[in-house]
């Protein structure tokens, strides 16, 4: 008679933690259940697992199974060996997994009263199969008591979590998006000021840390949707390369670190950073499933970075810059949705997983991709002509100041020098004739009895009439 083989679930057969996945799934649909979690836990971990499993239906077909271990179990099954799934997970979830795989002859799991983990599992297996009457496959320190009662202790090997996996999970390649906090410094010509640059770097680091925490939270919330996506299923959390409990532990660390950095900046920046987090959570929990609304939220998440950079450096952002940025970011958000819809249509699927778009929504997402940049250019075109006008007004002020200076010189010289036939000092006439280009050209009316158009004269004279611009000027 062959010795039965008992296999653990969390971290062994599945590269994940079923309790965390069911708990996150329950909170995703009903966030208010977070208030009940401490009361469930007060009645024991087994009760917590039962409540979470009853309120969440994870897709057991898409869990990150250990394919190498599954292949070995299939060989043992073909050889006629009896297999048992022995896990501390809730019995309801464990039976669904066993039914899906079709490999196990029985399930030994927590039942809502007993948490079948460690010593409790060891006693249960020893009572059922006898001392040294079974082989056991586990993966961590909680399985040591079970191995001490088993005939053969088999440890499932796991790859170490490399820095590359952690970098992918934290989305370090997305950090350049946060360079948008420097845009207000750039447009206000303060980017090279040491103090402004220090403030910008603080804002950049705070947004990078908070964005990584948001990305991890989004990966936990979207586990099922990501595993159904052809590209997102390879993300570290969805693929099991980074355990869900590790991701859950990293989130508060990153949030605290970002908050510490943000405390060195203005209160307005902290408020905008909090608004960024709140908008991201709202997006992950439901807004992303509302067509069109989701792209506006995405565009707003980019724009809030610009506002936060301005708030940190106490720079006023013009409404022209905000309008230009919003149109550009809207175009990028629609382009992202258009790519997703096009890929769904190419695979002959009905809709984008976890989004409010179907395969027929290609034109809806395609048209704004072109119109967004066009609107941005129109906004820029409305701003550009204002710059030379301001410069012209500034040049006119310089000319008027020069005129006032020359008139003052004429009054000072009036008492010292003789006058010519027209009542104008001859030395002053020569000085004025040299400076003629500084004056605005007057109209073709005769002024002060000179009898000739002012535009034809080399120098303006004192007149009671208001100077007017020549048509040619």
Which residues, in sequence order, are bridge partners of residue 65?
Answer: 14
Instruction: Band the pLDDT of 349: cuts 50, 70, 90.
Output: low
> How many domains does the chain contain in total?
2
pLDDT number for residue 373: 56
Long-range pairs for 397-402: beta carbons < 8 A, 24 or more residues apart:
398/438, 399/438, 399/439, 399/440, 402/435, 402/438, 402/439
Predicted confidence (pLDDT) at residue 175 exceeds the cutoff of 80: yes
Q: Which residues contact 105 (CB under 8 A, 6 or more apart)?
A: 4, 82, 83, 84
Say whether both 122 and 17 belong to one domain.
Answer: yes
- Region 359-363: mean pLDDT is 55
Crossing angle of helices 91-101 and 18-29, in 10° steps, is: 110
3-class SS at 434?
Answer: helix
Say whether both 110 and 187 belong to one domain.
Answer: no
Q: Does any domain span residue 439?
A: no
Q: Does any domain span residue 455?
A: no
pLDDT number for residue 376: 52
Say whether both 330 and 194 belong to one domain.
Answer: yes
Of 131, 155, 179, which marks where a domain is finished? 155
Asked if 103 and 73 touch (Cβ cutoff 8 Å), the reply is: yes
Say whether both 210 and 73 belong to one domain.
Answer: no
Say whether both 169 and 151 belong to one domain.
Answer: no
| Dihedral in degrees, nearest 10, Cα atoms 97, 98, 103, 107 | 140
41-51 tens-digit pLDDT: 999 999 999 99
257 versus 342: which is more confidently predicted?
Answer: 257
Q: Does any domain span residue 43?
A: yes
Instruction: Band the pLDDT of 320: cuts 50, 70, 90.
Output: confident
Say whether both 168 and 111 belong to one domain.
Answer: no
Asked if 34 and 114 touch (Cβ cutoff 8 Å), the reply is: no
Instruction: Band the pLDDT of 334: cuts 50, 70, 90.
Output: confident
Kindly report the number of other CB atoms within 10 A of residue 319's CB atom. Answer: 8
Of 386, 404, 421, which marks where a domain is finished? 386
- Region 265-274: mean pLDDT is 95
Asked if 178 and 211 touch (Cβ cutoff 8 Å), the reply is: yes
Say whether both 299 and 190 belong to one domain.
Answer: yes
Of 386, 413, 440, which marks where a domain is finished? 386
- Region 91-108: mean pLDDT is 94
The listed range with the strongest mean pLDDT (149-163, 294-308, 335-349) is 294-308
- Region 263-267: mean pLDDT is 94
Q: Does any domain span residue 238?
A: yes
- Rounded to whole angstroms, the Cα distance separating 455 from 445 reads 9
Predicted confidence (pLDDT) at residue 472 exceeds the cutoff of 80: no
- Region 324-348: mean pLDDT is 73
Predicted confidence (pLDDT) at residue 440 exceeds the cutoff of 50: no
pLDDT number for residue 365: 52
Q: Does any domain span residue 240?
A: yes
92 versus 345: which is more confidently predicted?
Answer: 92
Instruction: Band the pLDDT of 162: cuts 50, 70, 90.
Output: confident
Asked if 404 and 397 touch (Cβ cutoff 8 Å), the reply is: no
pLDDT number for residue 360: 56
Predicted confidence (pLDDT) at residue 208 exceeds the cutoff of 90: yes
pTM over 0.75: no
Range scoring the smallest mean pLDDT among 182-191, 236-245, 375-384: 375-384
- Rounded to whole angstroms, the Cα distance separating 211 from 200 reads 16
Instruction: Band the pLDDT of 398: cuts 50, 70, 90.
Output: low
Say whether both 147 and 34 belong to one domain.
Answer: yes
Say whether both 63 and 176 belong to one domain.
Answer: no
| Residues spanned by the domain of 223 | 163-386
Say whether both 112 and 189 belong to one domain.
Answer: no
Q: Which residues contact 95 (CB under 8 A, 6 or more apart)?
A: 107, 109
Range scoring the smallest mean pLDDT among 35-44, 45-54, 193-202, 404-413: 404-413
Q: Does any domain span residue 126?
A: yes
Asked if 5 and 137 touch (Cβ cutoff 8 Å), the reply is: yes
pLDDT number for residue 81: 93
pLDDT number for residue 351: 59
- Region 270-292: mean pLDDT is 88
- Region 222-239: mean pLDDT is 87
Range scoring the smallest mean pLDDT among 42-56, 251-265, 390-404: 390-404
Predicted confidence (pLDDT) at residue 299 exceeds the cutoff of 70: yes
Instruction: Band the pLDDT of 263: cuts 50, 70, 90.
Output: very high
CATH number where 47 lies: 3.40.50.1000
Say whether both 218 and 355 belong to one domain.
Answer: yes
CATH number where 316 lies: 1.10.357.140
Predicted confidence (pLDDT) at residue 291 exceeds the cutoff of 80: no
Predicted confidence (pLDDT) at residue 110 exceeds the cutoff of 70: yes
- Region 322-343: mean pLDDT is 77
Q: What are phi and psi of 130, to 5 degrees?
A: 90, 160
Please choose, from the candidates 249, 371, 379, 280, the residue with its C-alpha nearest in 3D space to the C-alpha of residue 325. Answer: 379
Cα within 13 Å of Cα(128), Cβ side: 19
Q: Which residues contact 15 (CB under 8 A, 6 or more apart)?
A: 64, 65, 66, 158, 239, 240, 241, 243
Say whether both 321 and 184 belong to one domain.
Answer: yes
Q: What are phi and psi of 153, to 5 degrees?
A: -100, 115
Q: Does any domain span residue 169?
A: yes
Q: Does any domain span residue 397?
A: no
3-class SS at 162?
Answer: coil
pLDDT number for residue 400: 63
Kindly report the number of other CB atoms within 10 A of residue 240's CB atom. Answer: 19
Range scoring the smallest mean pLDDT among 51-65, 124-138, 352-366: 352-366
Percent of the chain with pLDDT over 70: 71
Which residues, in sequence order, are bridge partners of residue 84?
Answer: 6, 106
């Amino acid at each position: 008679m062959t010795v039965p083989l008992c296999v653990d679930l969390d971290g062994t057969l599945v590269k994940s933690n079923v309790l965390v996945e069911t708990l996150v799934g329950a909170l995703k649909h009903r966030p208010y259940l977070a208030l009940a979690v401490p009361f469930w836990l007060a009645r024991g971990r087994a009760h917590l697992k039962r409540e979470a499993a009853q309120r969440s239906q994870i897709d057991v077909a898409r869990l990150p199974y250990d394919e190498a271990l599954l292949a070995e179990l299939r060989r043992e099954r073909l050889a006629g060996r009896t297999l048992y799934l022995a896990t501390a997970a809730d019995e309801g979830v464990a039976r669904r997994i066993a039914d899906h795989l079709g490999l196990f002859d029985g399930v030994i799991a927590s039942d809502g009263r007993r948490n079948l983990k460690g010593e409790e599992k060891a006693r249960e297996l020893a009572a059922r199969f006898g001392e040294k009457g079974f082989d056991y496959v586990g993966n961590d320190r909680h399985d040591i008591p079970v191995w001490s009662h088993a005939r053969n202790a088999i440890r499932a090997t796991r790859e170490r979590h490399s820095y590359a996996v952690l970098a992918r999970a934290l989305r370090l390649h997305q950090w350049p998006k946060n360079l948008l906090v420097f845009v207000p410094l750039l447009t206000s010509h303060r980017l090279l000021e040491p103090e402004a640059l220090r403030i910008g770097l603080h804002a950049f680091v705070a947004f990078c840390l908070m964005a990584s925490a948001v990305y991890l939270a989004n990966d936990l919330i979207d586990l099922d949707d990501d595993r159904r996506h052809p590209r997102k299923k390879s993300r570290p959390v969805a693929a099991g390369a980074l355990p869900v409990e590790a991701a859950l532990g990293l989130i508060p660390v990153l949030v605290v670190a970002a908050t510490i950095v943000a405390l060195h900046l203005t209160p307005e920046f902290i408020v905008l950073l909090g608004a960024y987090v709140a908008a991201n959570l709202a997006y992950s929990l439901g807004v992303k499933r509302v067509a069109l609304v989701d792209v506006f939220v995405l565009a707003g998440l980019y724009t809030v970075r610009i506002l936060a950079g301005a708030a940190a450096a106490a720079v006023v952002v013009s409404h022209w810059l905000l309008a230009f940025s919003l149109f550009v970011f809207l175009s990028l958000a629609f382009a992202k949705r258009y790519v997703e819809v096009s890929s769904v249509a190419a695979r002959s699927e009905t809709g984008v997983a976890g989004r409010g778009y179907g395969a027929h929504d290609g034109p809806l997402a395609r048209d704004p991709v072109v119109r967004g940049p066009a609107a941005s250019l129109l906004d820029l075109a409305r701003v550009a002509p204002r710059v030379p006008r301001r410069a012209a007004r500034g040049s006119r002020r310089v000319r008027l100041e020069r005129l006032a200076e020359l008139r003052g010189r004429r009054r000072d010289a009036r008492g010292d020098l003789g006058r010519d036939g027209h009542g104008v000092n001859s030395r002053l006439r020569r000085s004025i004739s040299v400076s003629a280009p500084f004056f605005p050209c007057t109209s073709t009316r005769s002024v002060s009895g000179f009898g000739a158009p002012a535009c034809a004269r080399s120098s303006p004279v004192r007149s009671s009439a208001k100077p007017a611009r020549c048509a040619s000027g």
